[in-house]
Amino acid sequence: GAGVSQSPSNKVTEKGKDVELRCDPISGHTALYWYRQSLGQGLEFLIYFQGNSAPDKSGLPSDRFSAERTGGSVSTLTIQRTQQEDSAVYLCASSLGSAGRVQYFGAGTRLSVL
Amino acid sequence: AQTVTQSQPEMSVQEAETVTLSCTYDTSESDYYLFWYKQPPSRQMILVIRQEAYKQQNATENRFSVNFQKAAKSFSLKISDSQLGDAAMYFCTYSVETSGSRLTFGEGTQLTVNP
């Protein structure tokens, strides 16, 4: 099968607008992660989904960020009222459970907030 | 705090030569997993090699091998017979199950391979 797919590849938005980023994990992968890659902060964890368990949201930088995972598959990361500091590459990864399993990454969404 | 340090922001190597990328980490956990990922300009992270902390034997994957020193919390990557396609940003990372196996990343080392 296909790898992790993310859309859109690039997104340009105006400050204050809401954006939605989508991630299609590898079929059968129960764990899904979102990371953010920015020049100032490097790579940082945002949120983690594992099966039907409550997500680990401890990495979300503010309450403007939220994510959901429907049917244990597709995930959407939503950023409300975008700010310029939200500009970054948002990476999604999936794995067969956790416990040291390899995470497979998508190509990311580059978000630019003007 | 759990951290990963890559002290070499940039490295270069001649094609067919060997290069070693350094990484140190800090965790209070006894059971964890270490990884090296590469990120070419296409942005997609690609696994290079994986090491379980409970295994003393160093992992190898074709031209890639690691020198894992658990007591020193060191996890360096050796690339032998470097190829032009090895040019990329390399990230040292680790995960612990108690944190949902999220990856903690180093700052990265940009590797240039000269023909």
Q: Does A34 touch chain B (CB under 8 A)?
A: no
pLDDT of residue B1: 62
pLDDT of residue A43: 93
Q: Dihedral sign for Cα A15, A16, A18, A21, please.
A: positive
Q: Does A71 touch chain B (CB under 8 A)?
A: no
- Please report residues of A whose CB lies closer than 8 A to that of B4: none
Mean pLDDT along residues B48-71:
95
pLDDT of residue B86: 97
Beta carbons of B100 and A48 less than 8 Å apart: yes
Instruction: Cis check for the bond before A61: say yes or no (omega within 30 of 0).
Output: no
Lowest mean pLDDT among A14-18, A95-99, B103-107: A95-99
pLDDT of residue B24: 97
Q: Which residues pair with B11 in a beta bridge?
A: B111
Neighbouring C-beta atoms of residue A81, cutoff 10 Å: 11
Task: Tell me the per-residue pLDDT of B2-35, one tens digit each, with 9 for 90 and over.
Answer: 699 999 999 999 999 999 999 999 998 888 999 9
Is residue A30's pLDDT more than 80?
A: yes
pLDDT of residue A112: 97
- B102 to chain A, closest Cα gap in Å: 7
- The DSSP symbol for B50 reads E
Measure CA of the first residue to CA of the last residue in chain B; give whole Å.
41
Neighbouring C-beta atoms of residue A107, cutoff 10 Å: 18
- Please report residues of A whose CB lies closer than 8 A to that of B44: 105-108
Is residue A79's pLDDT more than 80?
A: yes
pLDDT of residue A1: 56
- Please report residues of A whose CB lies closer than 8 A to that of B100: 31, 48, 50, 56, 98
Q: Does B78 touch chain A (CB under 8 A)?
A: no
- A25 to chain B, closest Cα gap in Å: 14
* Mean model confidence pLDDT for chain A: 94
Confidence of residue B104 (pLDDT cuts 50, 70, 90): very high
Please name the residues between 17 and 76 in chain B that touch chain A, using a CB distance below 8 Å.
32-33, 35, 37, 42-47, 50, 52
Confidence of residue A101 (pLDDT cuts 50, 70, 90): confident
Q: Which residues pair with B78 in a beta bridge?
A: B20, B65
Torsions phi, psi for A14 (to 5 deg) = -95, 145
